[in-house]
Structure 1
Amino acid sequence: MNSLYRMLGWQESSFDDYRQAYAIFGGSVLSDPRILQFIHRRFNLNERYFIKRDRANEIVGGVCVWDNHFVAGDQRVACKHGIDRYPLNFDELVLPIKLSHSTVLPFRTKFLSNLNQCALRNSSHLLNARREVSIVRDVSAKTRSSRNRELNKFLKAGGSVHCVSEYDHESLMNTYAELYFQRRNQRIDMDTTRELLSEIPDLMFGHILAFNGEPCAMQWVVKSEDHRQVYLDYINAGMNLSLSHLSVGTLAAWVNVRAALEYGERHQKQVRFSFGRPTGDYKERWCDREPLYRVIA
């Protein structure tokens, strides 16, 4: 099998080589070297790193592999090992591969991003049960105006908006846990959430809505970024359902979408904001569906 990898131009390498590829080409949250290290410290995945170089010996791609055959972050492996108990989104993988370089990737996944498919000759959407992911679309001037009117109505009624950076990790988790319980009547796993934030303290992004001083709605959003792009994953939400007449769920999404767009403009980076699988009608309000690709190996 190693001879096949070499024949296709992929050489087994070090974590530092992979981190260099990520620094050059970027990738989604699950491809972030910080996230991979966090996971590898806790699970036996037989992780391996592979790098591809061009004829000038320049890196044109990198990939981390789990269980010898699967691209790191693949949902099947995450569920098998229980990695999905951490508040991360396993619905899309963006790999640090040069988009203009056409190659064959000798590792499997069914969750390859539309961003990578043009570079991988052995990827297919048609052979992938037509899996899709919801990606936030550009916001029209009309939508922006409508949402800001709703937000101003909420603020005048006694609402307020607070950045997650205003909260320490324990307060942030407690707030989310309570709002999640109010929405679903279920409790989140505080221990895994605490582990993640303790090791990667700048992972969180977004805002919390409060009404009359009490938190009332929030999305759990995680962030990774490279020198060109910001990747945001919406994991889940919590809210006080008694305030649904104030559209707190819609507003919780809007303040984060708006903040993401402003963050991208301020840092002159593209923003890719994923709402995960298209599982709810409300996602259609914010997102376009993009195909996911199966890497056939």
Structure 2
Amino acid sequence: MLDRLRWFREKGWVAIDAPAYSEVWQKFGGSVATHPQVVERLAALAGIPVRYLGWPENGELQAAIPVWGRYLALSKDVLKQQLKRGLFDLGNAEIILPIAEAAQIPLRHKARYISALHVQQISTLREQPEGLALAREPEQYSKKFRYNQRREQRLLEEAGGLIRPMLELTAAEQAAIYADLFQRRWGFPATGEAHLAEVFGLMREFMTGSVVYLADQPVAIQILYRVESPRWVSVEYINGGVDPQQRDFSPGSVLSFVNTQNAWAEARALGKVLRYSFGRADREYKDRWCNRAAAYQV
């Protein structure tokens, strides 16, 4: 019975290896959660082997997917089943799979938060109730909003605030700061707290963004991962932490402004679209920064 279910699920797909998957991803693009090295490293951390499948047409692969059984790889459901829930945190990441622009495929492996980019490419999608929050272009903010953000940044810097690149810190320093500020902001530990330094070390080449300091103490941090595709740049804002005692200087808001503005500038300099996801569109503050976008599931 299990073999018959797998045969149906994988009908039309063929087994490929990791280098072939990487080649398809580099050709057609994807997102943080489907990047070959992200999949490989986090799956190895979890100790769960990845199976790669390709969709061939006329002798060439038109799509590829990494899978854990009947789920796409890195699935929270599989981690939970394997008693490894919270081992690492990718939030509710936008799923962009490497698929040729004109391809049309069926996807029968379970997945959520699949990008609206795939509506015309994947025949088995259905819209899910929860959408994604994607950062607006800078010009979509009102002049008043932009003025207020710059004013908050100026006031913070005049009070001795400093904005430092995330990569000036080691993985251990990033982990310690994030764990502390997350706990202060939310009152409970960050997902995967015990493994943060290891995860941040594995993800270091994908980390971007900055950290806000005030009086030489970190007061706001955001965990951002960035990957680049042929036609777009994908940034995932996983989560963040802020010192609530410094609310008068709005360090979290300043950091969101700096990080999003820098990401747009970088993407435009490359001549590429930016897909900067704040994850699930579930909080009021995200509406200040983002447009709501449909997301899909299988």
Q: TM-score, normalised by structure 2?
A: 0.89
Equivalent pairs, count: 289
Q: Distance in 2 between matches of 1:239 and 1:26?
A: 33
Preserved CA contact (<8 Å) 1:104 1:121: yes
Preserved CA contact (<8 Å) 1:74 1:111: no
Is 1:264 matched with 2:263?
Answer: no
Q: Distance in 2 between matches of 1:289 and 1:145?
A: 23
Q: Distance in 1 between matches of 2:157 and 2:22?
A: 44
Calculate the aligned-residue CA RMSD, in Å: 2.1
Partner of 1:241: 244
Residue 265 of structure 1, CA deviation: 2.0
- Of the three residues 122, 146, 149, the one matched with 1:147 is 149
Partner of 2:36: 33
Long gaps (5+) in structure 1? none
Partner of 1:196: 199
Partner of 1:119: 121
Q: Distance in 2 between matches of 1:237 and 1:28?
A: 20
| Greater mean alpha carbon deviation, residues 147-156 or residues 102-111 | 102-111
Deviations 1:169-216 (A, max 9, x none): 222222222222221233344442222222332121101111122211
Preserved CA contact (<8 Å) 1:75 1:91: no
Preserved CA contact (<8 Å) 1:30 1:90: no
Q: Distance in 2 between matches of 1:200 and 1:119?
A: 29
- Report % sequence identity: 24
Preserved CA contact (<8 Å) 1:51 1:63: yes
Residue 23 of structure 1, CA deviation: 0.8
Shift of the 247–40 alpha-carbon distance from structure 1 to 2, 3 Å rule, reads: closer
SS at match of 1:109: coil
Q: Distance in 2 between matches of 1:52 and 1:41?
A: 25
SS at match of 1:115: helix
Q: Mapping of 1:79-98 within 5 angstroms?
A: 79-81=80-82, 82=84, 84-98=86-100
SS at match of 1:52: strand
Shift of the 87–122 alpha-carbon distance from structure 1 to 2, 3 Å rule, reads: closer
Q: Distance in 2 between matches of 1:76 and 1:157?
A: 45
Partner of 1:175: 177
Q: Distance in 1 between matches of 2:202 and 2:249?
A: 36
Residue 110 of structure 1, CA deviation: 2.9
Q: Distance in 2 between matches of 1:110 and 1:212?
A: 42
Shift of the 5–235 alpha-carbon distance from structure 1 to 2, 3 Å rule, reads: closer
Long gaps (5+) in structure 2? none
Partner of 2:109: 107
Q: Distance in 1 between matches of 2:37 and 2:194?
A: 19
Shift of the 100–183 alpha-carbon distance from structure 1 to 2, 3 Å rule, reads: same
Preserved CA contact (<8 Å) 2:104 2:123: yes
Q: Distance in 1 between matches of 2:224 and 2:96?
A: 17
Deviations 1:229-265 (A, max 9, x none): 2211111111111111111221121111111112212
SS at match of 2:240: strand
